[in-house]
Amino acid sequence: MEHRYLGNSGLKISAITYGNWLTHGSQVENERAHRCVRAALDAGITSFDTADVYANTVAESVLGEALRGERRESLEIFTKVYWPTGPKGPNDTGLSRKHIMESMNASLRRLGTDYVDLYQAHRFDYETPLEETMQAFADIVRQGKALYIGVSEWTAEQIREGHKLAREMGFQLISNQPQYSALWRVIEDEVVPTCEELGLSQIVWSPVAQGVLTGKYRPGQPLPEGSRATDEKGGKDMIARWMNDETLTAVQNLVPVAEGLGVSMAQLAIAWVLANDNVAAAIIGASRPEQVEENVKALDVKLDADALAAIDKALEGVIERDPAKTVSPEGRLC
């Protein structure tokens, strides 16, 4: 397993990070979820990403149970705060001091740990003063409940504002967690240059575009049984933007590229995001242990300039690059 520094910090995380969004507590039974976590540990993965909102807090509990008995100091555990949880009362969402403090304590209980290595603002909160949010994060760091602070899906301007306040309050933002894949490149023009300047790394989610980049969805063909595109609990909605013939046809153009390198389509997609110097880790999910074992092999795939150019050519016309696609909800959801 390769480990990379996270931003301008001394923290190293595994370049392949295991995440349990849309799986633990919802799509995957607990026993199989535990086997997936064991497969991740066996593969050398030390970093695990979750959030309080995943399966409405259940995913954190499942991950905590799966990691019980492991040496805590040998793990990097990440979680997040913002989205509504619990009974969804008026203060059960956002980045107010009240919600951050209460969510932090609840996450620690569910995860069965005294601290998390990285606590992330899951979105930007337009209704809470940024000073209030950053002060709450500063206090959490001083209390030892989180060692580092990151954000997720913040724009370049929001990252710059948050970084400035964090420095004034005695801590630093070290990471951003955006969606990023060969199909979804909206962070490249503004977010990545800003993060490189300020000392943040990317921990990217959906490197295989919700499974689309595996090539299993074919234009004009029935959806694979049990696939994310058939999941009525949320997976179907998330993948919908790519379920059109133009995109699916372009993805099939990647098949000869992967075959020429002797790798799977998923390995090709993960290797592509890891080729970006500002990416510290790619988050993978799994519903079966075998998927973890297969995806970790992406670390052995090194893409040269010709391979990168071939990927761009294959996907020409369906790549999303608009920085404005990085957005947070403008209003509270409770």
CA nearest neighbour of 283 among 199, 226, 210, 225: 210
Residue 296 · residue 15 · CB < 8 Å: no
CA distance 149 to 133: 11
Instruction: Tell me how crowded residue 208 is: count the other CB atoms within 10 A of its CB.
Output: 25
The pair of structure tokens assigned to 258 is 């992967």
Catalytic residue among 5, 18, 54, 115: 54
Angle 97-111/58-67 helices, nearest 10 degrees? 40
Strands (E), the chain: 3-5, 12-14, 16-19, 47-49, 76-81, 116-121, 146-151, 173-176, 201-204, 279-284
Structure tokens at 315: 């996907």
Dist CA 249 CA 88 (whole Å): 41
Report helix, strand or coil for 95.
coil
Q: Are 182 and 269 in contact (CB under 8 A)?
A: yes
For the beta carbon of residue 238, count every other beta carbon within 10 angstroms. Answer: 18
What distance in Å separates the CA atoms of residue 212 and residue 203, rounded to the nearest whole number?
20
CA 180 to chain CA centroid, nearest Å:
9
User: If you count them, how many residues does the chain have?
Assistant: 334
Taking the C-alpha atoms of residue 80 and residue 107, their distance in angstroms, rounded to an integer, is: 9
**Catalytic annotation present for 217:** no
Please give the positions annotated as active site: 54
